Amino acid sequence: MQVDAEALKKALEKALSSTKRNFTQSVELIVNLRDIDTRRPENKFNEMVELPNPLGKDVKVCVIASGQMAVEAKKLGADGIVQREDLENLAKNRKAARKLAKAYDFFVAEAPLMPMIGRALGPLLGPRGKMPIPVPPNASLAPILERLRRTV
């Protein structure tokens, strides 16, 4: 059964127009999937949803880059920056790599470093659904970081 977008919008407007309360209110959307067994590998999905406003909690983004992109990430206020040398150390130190994978919600990486990241951090980030988003070397990081901070 497909959900009608208009019916969904009307229900949302009705919920938002109800009497205001003396606490911070939020709206939840619960989706039930029929006839889909998510335990089977071919039916699994991992989707990122971009919200119009940032979340109440801080989303931590780690940038894996070197050179100019690392400098730009520092200026933009990235929560963590991993350089090529640090990546080589993480390949040897599994405990530190696990700690890094646990500390951040999203990873953004310079495209030329992706093969090295796959070898060093792939076994840890892949199962967690946190594989880095590749960024071309001359692309701007500002819109990417802003979008990830609004993503669920």
Residue 69 to residues 50, 63, 110, 152, Cα–Cα distance (Å): 24, 9, 8, 25
Note down the domain range covering 143: 61-149
Which residue reads 């990830």 in tokens? 148
CATH at residue 121: 3.40.50.790
Start-to-end Cα distance in the chain:
25
pLDDT at 25: 80
Residues 27 and 97 in one domain: no
Gap between the Cα atoms of 118 and 43, Å rounded:
24
Residues 16, 77, single domain; the answer is no
Determine the pLDDT at residue 49: 80
Same domain? For 131 and 98 the reply is yes
Q: What pLDDT does residue 96 have?
A: 93
Q: State whether 38 and 68 are in the same domain.
A: no
**Is there a domain that residue 55 lies in?**
no
If the chain, 152 residues long, is cut into consecutive pieces of 10 residues, what is the mean pLDDT of each piece? 81 84 82 82 79 80 92 92 92 93 94 92 91 90 90 81
Phi and psi torsions of 139, nearest 5°:
-80, 155
Does the residue 50 lie in any domain?
A: no
Q: How many domains does the chain fold into?
A: 2
In the prediction, which pLDDT does 113 show? 92
The answer on 81 and 144 residing in a single domain is yes
In the prediction, which pLDDT does 1 show? 58
Same structural domain, 109 and 137: yes
Residue 52 lies in a domain: no
Q: Does one domain contain both 66 and 116?
A: yes
